[in-house]
Amino acid sequence: MSKSVIITGVTGQIGSGFARFLLNEGHEVHGIIRRTSSFNTSRIDDVFSHPKLKLHYGDMTDGSVSNLICDLKPDYFINQAAMSHVAVSFDNPEYCFDVNATGVIRCLEAIRRHSKHTRVLQASTSELYGDHVAPQNELTPFKPRSPYAVSKLAALASVVNYREAYNIFAANSITFNTEGPARGATFLTRKVTLAAARISLGLQKELRLGNLCSKRSWTHYEDQLDGQWLVLNADEPDDYCIGLEESHSIQEFVEIVFSKLNLDWKEFVICDPRYFRPTEVDHLEPDCTKIRSKLGWKPKHTFQQLVDEMVKHDLDLARKEKILLDNK
């Protein structure tokens, strides 16, 4: 049966993946995009003209999304919108909180008042755990160490509160780092794979990074999408950690990427204090026992497959860039 779905952040990595998946399943997708003076829909270009995709201008910082909820009364509300860059959140904490926390409350309140049948998925983050010892699971205490993490904790707690107070199907997916070729170029993994590819072709000379010792669990975006869809369609709403149950240091990630391009990372990577955060998070790695046992989730991609896919994608991009430069 066809369902109506609102996806915020539809032009992002996971949001666009959800749109593609849901359209293929025959659902009606209403995607929220922010109005800008330049095109920002490249991730959904392949489904842009799909008859069941409706795009709406909106922003989590005003009433546009909550108004749309009131009008459409969707079967599903998937919130992928966020000011999600941890480092930038230190520079602009007020905007970060307005988008990530207050914006979520606006939407929950609209659902409470006008569309209580709507199933809600809030995309949360492993950054909530801060420097608690890994692995972390749903019972691990939260200790946010950035404005981004603080705002996402407020959103997670709001979802739990609305679920318990108003009997709304509202669930949190506590997602560990989600990666893939569609990851934004300012985020660490794409920053590394893009730089390594460009360096290998002589298009770039160096790569500047911050703390190389931090460890993260990097998970393929398709596996995160699968997990979040299971959470949204569970018998009962609940909160679940989702991620690959292994972690690697940033230095290890850099070493692997550069070695795949026959480069010695030490010749090109500079550790720059400017890229250190005021408060660092050393080690994030999930214990996904709950979602594996209750919902049957398991990842389909290994860490090595993820790296291979990203390196190949960005090497292809770098080659196209070089051809254009050579033909000028």
CA 155/CA 145 separation, integer angstroms: 15
pTM to 2 decimals?
0.95
Least confident of 39-43, 60-64, 195-199, 224-228: 39-43
Q: Which among 97, 99, 94 is positioned nearest to 9, based on CA atoms?
A: 99
Confidence of residue 34 (pLDDT cuts 50, 70, 90): confident
- Is 303 a residue whose pLDDT tops 90? yes
Q: Calculate mean pLDDT across residues 111-136.
A: 97
- Is 45 a residue whose pLDDT tops 90? yes
Q: What pLDDT, on the 0 to 100 scale, is given for residue 137?
A: 98
Indicate if 127 belongs to the active site.
yes
Omega prior to 135 cis, within 30 of 0: yes
Q: Calculate mean pLDDT across residues 269-275.
A: 92
Q: Calculate mean pLDDT across residues 297-325.
A: 97
- Is 70 a residue whose pLDDT tops 80? yes
Residue-wise pLDDT for 244-263, tens only, equals 999 999 999 999 999 999 99
Q: What pLDDT, on the 0 to 100 scale, is given for residue 39?
A: 74
Indicate if 148 belongs to the active site.
yes
Q: What pLDDT, on the 0 to 100 scale, is given for residue 23?
A: 98
- Is 328 a residue whose pLDDT tops 90? no
Residue-wise pLDDT for 179-206, tens only, equals 999 999 999 999 999 999 999 999 999 9
Tell me the two tokens of residue 328: 């000028």
Q: Given 8, 11, 118, 125, which residue is catalytic?
A: 125
E-assigned strand segments in the chain: 4-8, 28-33, 53-57, 76-79, 119-125, 170-175, 178-179, 207-209, 215-216, 219-220, 239-242, 248-249, 269-271
CA 193/CA 254 separation, integer angstroms: 8
CA 109/CA 158 separation, integer angstroms: 10
Tell me 46's DSSP state. G
261, 307 in Cβ contact below 8 A? no
Q: What pLDDT, on the 0 to 100 scale, is given for residue 101?
A: 97
Phi and psi angles of residue 127, each rounded to the nearest 5 degrees, phi first: -60, -15
- Is 127 a residue whose pLDDT tops 90? yes
Mean pLDDT taken over the chain: 96
Q: Given 148, 162, 221, 240, which residue is catalytic?
A: 148
CA dihedral sign of residues 60, 61, 64, 70: positive
Q: Given 8, 11, 76, 127, which residue is catalytic?
A: 127
| pLDDT > 70: percent of the chain | 100
- Is 207 a residue whose pLDDT tops 90? yes
For 118, residues 6+ apart whose C-beta sits below 8 A from its C-beta are 69, 73, 74, 75, 76, 77, 111, 168, 169
What are the angstrom distances between the C-alpha of 60 and each of 33, 106, 145, 223?
10, 8, 23, 26
Residue 184: CB atoms within 10 A of its CB come to: 13
Helix (H, G, I), strand (E, B), or coil: what is residue 28? Answer: strand
Give per-residue burial for 208-227: e unless 16+ CB within 10 Å, then b.
ebbbeebbbbbbbbbbbbbb
Contacts of residues 288-294 at CB distance under 8 Å and 24 or more positions apart, as own/partner, are 288/137, 288/240, 288/241, 288/242, 288/243, 288/245, 289/137, 290/137, 290/138, 290/240, 290/241, 291/227, 291/230, 291/231, 291/240, 291/241, 291/242, 294/234, 294/238, 294/240
For strands 269-271 and 219-220, give the pairing: unpaired
